[in-house]
Amino acid sequence: MLLLVFMRNIFIFLILLLMPITLLGCSNNTSVFLFLKGYRSEIQGRHDEAIKYYRSAIEQDPASSEIRTQMALTYIKKGRIDDAEEVLKEAIGIDSKNTDAIKILAGIYSAKGMHDKARELYERCIEIKGDDTDAYLHLGAVYMVQKRYREAIGVYERILGFEADNIIAIYYLGRLNAELKEYAKAREYYQKTIQLKPNFEPAHLEMGIVYEIEGNNKKALEYYNNVISINPLNKKARSRAANIFIKQRDYDKAINEFEKLSDIDREDLSIRVKIGLLHLEKGRYDEAIREFNLILAINPKENNVRLYLAIALKEKGDVKKAIEEFSKIDPSSEEFINALRNMTFLFIKSNLIDEGISIIKNFIKLKKDNIEAYLMLATLYEEKKDYAKGIEALEEARRYDEKNIDIFYQIGVLYEKSGNSDKAVEAMAQVLKIDPEHANALNFIGYTWAEKGINLDRAAEMIKKALTKKPDDGYILDSMGWVYFKKGDYKKALEEIKKAHEKLPDDPTISDHLGDVYEKLNDMEKARHFYERAIKLEKDETKRKPMEQKLDRLKEKSR
């Protein structure tokens, strides 16, 4: 942030502003001579030697506040801030109106974060000299660091009272009004800054930012382009322009800006990453793969780039290479979970289940407490319909995390698929012990009981509670309808299951339930329609067979 840079550079600013300190306070020629020798050593970079001369000059003229002030600046250059602080206090003690010393000491306090002390000293300078512009500017900066923006505005407005064209005050009034979201005023001050100094980059840049915040991207780009025309090497303007192009989905223009940014700073690999991601977004997989490979050639440990490369290969359809790149990602990195999920998808999609199981088992050997690896391993076993092995993997994961909701939930799903609904409900009850508001677990237990025709009142309570968390979830709406069906309230059942069907029109179970409800309501034509739809949608032969039997029975009734 610019104002923080302003505060960090305060010492340099003051050194340039105040050197050399006036020697009017030196009372004898020897002192002046020693001071000048010290000053010459200082400008030649021999700071230790300079300090020795300044000390000798002070010995000749102990009452000199000015020599102490210059010596303090040398201490600052040496990084001896505490020594500078002590010498400045001595200088101010000798001459309480030495505003140079007061401002340097205030700068030290600002740098140390002692803003209230700095503020008091700047205010003292203003008492000594009412139009001390530098003191006002620094005082305003202190208020900005403290986020006392209104008070900072008051300080800079006072500067304009005696120096109407002070460009720094005008510029900071723009920044402060922008910070307060008073964008019209901010633009007014930025425009005045630009009128006074047409090539002042920060004003153009921040005018663009204000327009961008207001949603006027056309004007924002105009000002970012102004910055670029003033200084083609301005990275921030090009970056902001590129981000506008991204928001407008004009990816080629964004890539063009990022390419120019990369030319400015070839060591900034994050720019090449952005270029690669934009090619990926455009579906230009070969270009994206090239970019990511180039980055990895320079820094092979960039796990996020490895992840992007693998995703690009996956999107291109190069499954083997994608899996290979996913497998190279460090198991201890943040990207590994995403890599595991993507790999699991590829293993399933490409019917490489056994290979996937072997790869994930190897990952687990490397990092035995990686819960995500166990979850993905269980997913592969589930796809293979080896539910016992999936449960075994999840039970192993429990050793490392006894309160992981995903583990218990997945165990419940696998027990349900294996036909052991009692164990499934037990696992879901464990989920609810950890999170009593878990909507899917509430629904799971409620629906399981409804299927069995037991605990229907409790099932209704649980499903209603789930609906408070997910009111638009089609599966939970269907469960609510199914409880009503089991209770014999077919009109309410129809109302809820129709809502579910609107949310999930292609779900075979919901269509089958609608067929059941319409059959109970003696609307055989609609019952037949939904049974036929359910049969058409259902891919699992074991689930489709009971639907076909219902349809056959319905046809028999109609004869």
Give the confidence band of 13 by pLDDT, cuts at 50, 70, 90. very low
Q: Say what percent of the chain tops pLDDT 70.
A: 95
pLDDT value of position 559: 67
Q: CA angle at residue 379 from 375 to 384, to 5 degrees? A: 145
Q: Are 201 and 183 in contact (CB under 8 A)?
A: no
- Residue 317 scores a pLDDT above 70: yes
Average pLDDT, the chain: 92
Q: What is the pTM for the complete model shown?
A: 0.71
Give the confidence band of 29 by pLDDT, cuts at 50, 70, 90. low
Token pair listed for 249: 């989905």
| All domains in the chain, ordered by first residue | 1-146 (1.25.40.10), 352-436 (1.25.40.10), 505-559 (no CATH)
Helix runs in 384-489, H state only: 387-398, 405-417, 421-434, 439-452, 456-469, 474-487
Token pair listed for 413: 């799903």
Average pLDDT, stretch 456-483? 97
Give the confidence band of 30 by pLDDT, cuts at 50, 70, 90. confident
- Rounded distance, CA 559 to CA 552, Å? 11
Give the confidence band of 18 by pLDDT, cuts at 50, 70, 90. very low
- Residue 20 scores a pLDDT above 80: no
Q: Are 153 and 173 in contact (CB under 8 A)?
A: yes
Give the confidence band of 423 by pLDDT, cuts at 50, 70, 90. very high
- Rounded distance, CA 445 to CA 431, Å? 11
pLDDT in tens, 487-543: 999 999 999 999 999 999 999 999 999 999 999 999 999 999 999 999 999 998 989
- Rounded distance, CA 532 to CA 225, Å? 62
63: which residues sit within 8 A by CB, 6+ positions away? 25, 27, 94
CA distances from 59 to 64, 66, 478 (A): 10, 13, 94
pLDDT in tens, 115-161: 999 999 999 999 999 999 999 999 999 999 999 999 999 999 999 99
Average pLDDT, stretch 278-303? 95
pLDDT in tens, 52-82: 999 999 999 999 999 999 999 999 999 999 9
Token pair listed for 340: 């595991």
pLDDT in tens, 237-277: 999 999 999 999 999 999 999 999 999 999 999 999 999 99
* Phi and psi at residue 166, to the nearest 5°: -70, 105
What is the Cα Rg of the chain in Å?
37
- Rounded distance, CA 246 to CA 304, Å? 20
Minimum mean pLDDT range among 20-24, 154-158, 399-403 = 20-24
pLDDT value of position 3: 40
CB-CB neighbours of 251 under 10 Å = 19
In 3D space, the residue among 235, 237, 232 whose CA is nearest the CA of residue 220 turns out to be 237
Average pLDDT, stretch 47-54? 93
- Rounded distance, CA 557 to CA 514, Å? 18
Q: Say what percent of the chain tops pLDDT 90.
A: 89
- Residue 1 scores a pLDDT above 60: no
pLDDT value of position 28: 56
- Rounded distance, CA 535 to CA 549, Å? 10
pLDDT value of position 14: 40
- Residue 362 scores a pLDDT above 80: yes
Give the confidence band of 7 by pLDDT, cuts at 50, 70, 90. very low
